[in-house]
Amino acid sequence: MTATIPDSLTGMGQGALHVVRTLRNAGHEAFFVGGCVRDLLLGEVPDDYDIVTSAHPDVVQTLFPRTYPVGVSFGVILVSEGDFLYEVATYRKEAEYTDGRHPSQVSFATAKEDVYRRDFTVNGLLMDPETGEAVDYVGGVADIERRVIRTVGNPEERFAEDHLRMLRAVRFAANLGFLIDVETLGAIKQHSADIARVSAERIREEMTRILIGPGPRQGMELLQATGLLSQLLPEIEALRGVSQPPQFHPEGDVWEHTLTMLALLPLEERRHDTEAGGRLAWAVLLHDAGKPATRTESETGVHFYGHVQKGVEIAAAIMRRLKFSKADFDVVLALTENHMRFMHVQDMRSNTVKKFLRMPDFDLHLALHRLDCLGSHGHLDNDLFCRGKLKELTTEDLRPPRLMTGHDLLALGFQPGPLVREILNALEDAQLNGEIATAQEAQQLVISRFLPGSAVNGHE
């Protein structure tokens, strides 16, 4: 199997080719390796290029003017070439894994040994960038052609060495649209409980990459089928079989609803803004997590009273467990907490609608709601209502300049405290509802509603 390079290489690829040529001209072996080879053979543009060489790290450092010794102990040097950075790694083999996560030591080796330590055959290919020809010690070319993820060597041993590889297998299968080879799949099922020993950060990162990739539905189905989901997110495994009223959810149970929404996540947006895309994807996964625990059935039908509150608790627990950043935690929780409010948006008073529309990250809230509808009954009237309002209302309609400040209220004789906040809120609501529009009208409202009577006497 051959890729049509070097002509088709992008700027980043040309730089990588230059790095390989420099190493070769100095008498060393050098190849493209790993994900970039896989992507080139699939006809895709790699996100980055990794290079392996027989040259030792100290030699690599002398051959290039700008290098960063990021992992000298592993033989990895970052080489800066043009506008790009390349990982240049000396061939290495890893001796023994003692804890299922980190090799206990590495030593320099041959090209063949280097690819033997890699996780999957499709990631274990070398490429001569001068010809585009793959150098295949592991059967990776055949697996790319068959579209299969298979471990290099015995899957049981490879997963016992590094448990994260089980999750990586699912991620590559989902993102590439490949199947997992039957023996590799069997080994993951066998060892799925070991995934609990991998760090929360690594699990979160892999899960996010599954969710924001091109095949989130396939990814979740594979996690479920392998037993990894019940280890990692039993709360989401619990969505399976939780049936819902077919008039609102013709697609099926809560699990099916969630997967349908994941499959509808707009891929382009996810590619452009992975931070927002990741938050939206996690919110899709978590938004109905409260349903299994709150499902009731009576003459009036199936209900999920309080599922939002329960869902917020479950989502918070999951995100704490997976050590999400505070910012991600807050946004995903807000998305879960507010997702049902869209149902009432057309009955809200003007002030409430405006405050709703100006919520932080409203575009994400709206996107979640839209997916919720498209992934079930398909009625978009509340979505369209919000979009219409957003078009019609100006920024000033949503956030009008204050008619009175806290300072003005103190000048009227109010003491600093909660009442001042309450009055300011009442003034803003009246303004958003169009009941008052000038400072004078604001003052009149304060006098008529807050000055006479007991409230103000206590403050004088």
Residues that bind ligand ATP (CB under 6 A): 34-35, 47, 50, 118-119, 123-124, 162, 164-165
Question: Rounded to an integer, what distance in angstroms lies between the CA atom of residue 78 and that of residue 421?
Answer: 55
Angle at the Cα of 44 from the Cα atoms of 20 and 31, rounded to 5 degrees: 20
399: amino acid identity, one letter: R
Burial class of 31 by CB neighbour count within 10 A (0 to 12, 13 to 18, 19+): buried
Considering the complex, what minimum distance in angstroms separates the CB of residue 370 from ligand ATP? Answer: 29
Closest by CA to 258, choosing from 277, 276, 285, is: 285
Considering the complex, what minimum distance in angstroms separates the CB of residue 300 from ligand ATP? Answer: 49
Question: Rounded to an integer, what distance in angstroms lies between the CA atom of residue 25 and that of residue 345?
Answer: 68
Joined together, the tokens standing for residue 433 give 């509802």
Residue nearest to ligand ATP (CB): 35
Joined together, the tokens standing for residue 414 give 């109010």
**Out of Mg ion, ligand ATP, none, which partner does residue 162 contact, by CB within 5 to 8 A per kind?**
ligand ATP
Number of residues that bind Mg ion (CB under 5 A): 1
Question: Rounded to an integer, what distance in angstroms lies between the CA atom of residue 194 and that of residue 326?
Answer: 28
**Out of Mg ion, ligand ATP, none, which partner does residue 206 contact, by CB within 5 to 8 A per kind?**
none
The binding track of 299-338 with respect to Mg ion, each residue x by CB under 5 A or -, is ----------------------------------------
β pairing state of 84-90 and 50-53: parallel
Considering the complex, what minimum distance in angstroms separates the CB of residue 174 from ligand ATP? Answer: 11
Q: How many CB atoms lie within 10 A of CB 40?
A: 26
Give yes or no for residue 35 binding Mg ion (CB under 5 A): yes
Q: How many CB atoms lie within 10 A of CB 22?
A: 19
By beta-carbon proximity to Mg ion, the closer residue of 35 and 71 is 35
**Out of Mg ion, ligand ATP, none, which partner does residue 194 contact, by CB within 5 to 8 A per kind?**
none
Question: Rounded to an integer, what distance in angstroms lies between the CA atom of residue 160 and that of residue 158?
Answer: 5
Residue nearest to Mg ion (CB): 35
**Out of Mg ion, ligand ATP, none, which partner does residue 150 contact, by CB within 5 to 8 A per kind?**
none
By beta-carbon proximity to ligand ATP, the closer residue of 81 and 162 is 162
Considering the complex, what minimum distance in angstroms separates the CB of residue 152 from ligand ATP? Answer: 8
By beta-carbon proximity to ligand ATP, the closer residue of 119 and 428 is 119
**Out of ligand ATP, Mg ion, none, which partner does residue 187 contact, by CB within 5 to 8 A per kind?**
none
Considering the complex, what minimum distance in angstroms separates the CB of residue 165 from ligand ATP? Answer: 5
**Out of Mg ion, ligand ATP, none, which partner does residue 119 contact, by CB within 5 to 8 A per kind?**
ligand ATP
Cβ 249 vs Cβ 376: under 8 Å: yes
By beta-carbon proximity to Mg ion, the closer residue of 49 and 414 is 49
Question: Rounded to an integer, what distance in angstroms lies between the CA atom of residue 305 and that of residue 6?
Answer: 61
**Out of Mg ion, ligand ATP, none, which partner does residue 118 contact, by CB within 5 to 8 A per kind?**
ligand ATP
Considering the complex, what minimum distance in angstroms separates the CB of residue 87 from Mg ion? Answer: 8
By beta-carbon proximity to ligand ATP, the closer residue of 118 and 279 is 118
Considering the complex, what minimum distance in angstroms separates the CB of residue 330 from ligand ATP? Answer: 28
Considering the complex, what minimum distance in angstroms separates the CB of residue 428 from ligand ATP? Answer: 48
List, in order, residues 6 or more apart from 440 with CB less than 8 Å away: none
Q: Is the dihedral of CA 123, 125, 129, 131 positive or negative?
A: negative
Radius of gyration of the chain, Cα coordinates, nearest whole angstrom? 29
By beta-carbon proximity to ligand ATP, the closer residue of 136 and 162 is 162
By beta-carbon proximity to ligand ATP, the closer residue of 85 and 357 is 85
Tell me which long-range contacts 368-373 makes (C-beta under 8 A, separation of at least 24).
Answer: 368/280, 368/283, 368/284, 368/287, 368/335, 368/339, 369/339, 369/342, 371/261, 371/264, 371/265, 371/284, 372/261, 372/287, 372/339, 372/342
Closest by CA to 34, choosing from 163, 132, 120, 152, is: 120
**Out of ligand ATP, Mg ion, none, which partner does residue 310 contact, by CB within 5 to 8 A per kind?**
none
Considering the complex, what minimum distance in angstroms separates the CB of residue 279 from Mg ion? Answer: 23
Considering the complex, what minimum distance in angstroms separates the CB of residue 157 from ligand ATP? Answer: 12
**Out of Mg ion, ligand ATP, none, which partner does residue 155 contact, by CB within 5 to 8 A per kind?**
none
454: amino acid identity, one letter: S
DSSP 8-class letter at 431: H
Considering the complex, what minimum distance in angstroms separates the CB of residue 92 from ligand ATP? Answer: 11
400: amino acid identity, one letter: P
Give yes or no for residue 214 binding Mg ion (CB under 5 A): no
Cβ 450 vs Cβ 427: under 8 Å: no
Cβ 101 vs Cβ 8: under 8 Å: no
**Out of Mg ion, ligand ATP, none, which partner does residue 123 contact, by CB within 5 to 8 A per kind?**
ligand ATP
List, in order, residues 6 or more apart from 112 with CB less than 8 Å away: 137
Segment interacting with Mg ion (CB under 5 A) among 35-43, 139-147, 156-164, 280-288:
35-43
Closest by CA to 137, choosing from 82, 203, 179, 93, is: 93
Binding site for Mg ion (CB under 5 A): 35
